[in-house]
Amino acid sequence: MKLRTMAAVAGAFAAGVVVGPVVAAWAQESGRAETYRLLNLFGDVYERIRAEYVEPINDRDAIENAINGMLNGLDPHSSYLNQRSYRDMQVQTRGEFGGLGIEVTQENGYIKVISPIDDTPAARAGIKAGDIITQLNGTSVQGMTLQEAVEQMRGERGTAIKLTIRREGADKPLELSLTREVIRPQVVRFRLESGDIGYVRVTSFNEQTDTGLRKAIQTLRQQAGAGGLKGLVLDLRNNPGGLLDQAVQVSDDFLEQGEIVSTRARRPEDAQRWNAKPGDIAQGVPMVVLINGGSASASEIVAGALQDHRRAIVLGVKSFGKGSVQTVMPIPGQGAIRLTTARYYTPSGRSIQGTGIEPDIEVLSQRQEANAGPPQREREADLRKSLRNEGGTPAQAGVPALPPLQLPPGVADKVSKQPAEGAPSFDPTKPETDFQLQQGLGLLRNLGAAQAVVPQRRAATQ
């Protein structure tokens, strides 16, 4: 009886902490007696499992699994974070961790280096783009997932790890011993294309994103010299999102006025709206935003805001379609819960939940075979228990409905939808193989050329 009482109290405590407002509303509607009856049911089941399961159970694991099951049953993005997961999430949002300083991908079962980060152990050790990591501390990486390999390379500052590397042109594998340091990943990478078009890739939205973006644009303007930037590509492909406030700030960086995004919660009084402040760090130069099925959440907020205000041309394929907001609620000494608390809407009132951002110009990353659709990847609408799309509302006050895209005659026709037959496969270490990027750069060049012709024609007729 004592165990049953303790179990019931534990169940009530877990439910009260995790979904207190929901329990309160439920009690008002269905009666407090029904609420306690169901909490007692939880305690009874927990007691039976604890006493009768074939092997002894870990109480913490059992309770955490129960809480996680309750949250997972709501939607795909609500979950319980134990203390370790919560710390990992805080590391990701802060944008720094103990590691080596390399960006990697997986290829043929091995780990391929995309790029070392400047002034990190990897860069100082001479690791190069294209290097293949075959072993970590003498253990083959084959059979590991990319995440497992990354976790092994991360660790406490000052600890060492040995990498075995295969490099093209080298007679034998390289053995490198590196000491981990605090790494601040380059969530913003950039370069100047053809001397006058800026390329900026944002890989996630953490606390460093807006600062990194502003530094990137400033550096690109300096590199462009007296002629200045003629265009800007903002690459949000495979960017899974992150912090809402960073998405708002990045959007604000390119908008002079108007709404950026709004959120609507369960209670109407909890609705919020963010508006842009004057000041465009790109000073109005034409922009292309690249998106794909891996662009989600905060990425979609930015793409949607710039598209609705016609500040940028969105190019690529339809985005993931995650139009919900998760709030992380710490539980003192017990980790945290991540709970879906609102839906977000673009400036024109669109909800992209389950539908995604449709590009203004569709461009596939790889060739589509005849009579076959493009390869499909899982999106929000495919996830179990994904939230339904509540639809949009009429245009917000002062914000017009999404206007049609207007380009100079012939400019859009020069954009190819898919690579030519026999085109090289995409290699992240070789930008020239990135078909979507090359089409975006070409669009900006053709747009600039067309706009330059218009004033000359007008002058000739006056």
Which pLDDT tens digit goes with each residue over 280-318?
A: 999 999 999 999 998 999 999 999 999 999 999 999 999
- The band of 8, judged by pLDDT with boundaries at 50, 70 and 90, is very low
Catalytic residue among 204, 251, 297, 365: 297
Q: Answer yes or no: is pLDDT of 394 > 50.
A: no
The answer to whether 308 is a known catalytic residue is: yes
Higher-pLDDT residue of 7 and 447 is: 447
Short-list 213, 240, 217, 211, CA closest to 229: 217
Percent of the chain with pLDDT over 90: 51
- Per residue in 341-380, is it b (16+ CB within 10 Å) or e — as a string? ebbbbbbbbbbbbbbbbebbbebbbebeeeeeeeeeeebb
Percent of the chain with pLDDT over 70: 86
Give CA angle at 398 (392, 403), nearest 5°. 65
- The mean pLDDT of 326-352, rounded to a whole number, is 91
Short-list 83, 81, 125, CA closest to 102: 125
The answer to whether 425 is a known catalytic residue is: no
- The band of 102, judged by pLDDT with boundaries at 50, 70 and 90, is confident
The answer to whether 270 is a known catalytic residue is: no
- 322 close to 353: Cβ distance less than 8 angstroms: yes
Residues 6+ apart with CB under 8 A from 50: 3, 7, 57, 59, 62
- Residue 398 confidence (pLDDT): 46
Interatomic CA distance for residues 111 and 139, integer angstroms: 13
- The band of 18, judged by pLDDT with boundaries at 50, 70 and 90, is very low
Q: Is 436 helix (H, G, I), strand (E, B) or coil?
A: helix
Instruction: Tally Cβ neighbours within 10 Å of residue 403.
Output: 10
244-289: pLDDT as tens digits: 999 999 999 999 999 999 999 999 999 999 999 999 999 999 999 9
198-242: pLDDT as tens digits: 999 999 999 999 999 999 999 999 999 888 999 999 999 988 898
Catalytic residue among 322, 324, 351, 386: 322
Short-list 233, 402, 392, CA closest to 308: 402
Q: Could you give the maximum distance between any two Cα atoms of the chain, in Å? A: 97
Interatomic CA distance for residues 381 and 394, integer angstroms: 24
Task: Write the DSSP symbol of residue 411.
Answer: T
Global confidence as pTM: 0.76
- Per residue in 182-193, is it b (16+ CB within 10 Å) or e — as a string? ebebbbbbbebb
Q: Answer yes or no: is pLDDT of 319 > 80.
A: yes
156-171: pLDDT as tens digits: 889 999 999 999 888 9
- The band of 370, judged by pLDDT with boundaries at 50, 70 and 90, is very low
What is the DSSP secondary-structure string of 332-397?
Answer: TTS-EEEEEEEEEE-TTS---TTT-PPPSEE--SSPPPTT-PPPP---GGGSTTPPPP----SPPT
Q: How far is CA 117 from CA 165, 184, 206, 266, 434, in A?
A: 17, 9, 17, 43, 21
Catalytic residue among 210, 235, 253, 308: 308
**Assigned token pair, 343:** 């839906």
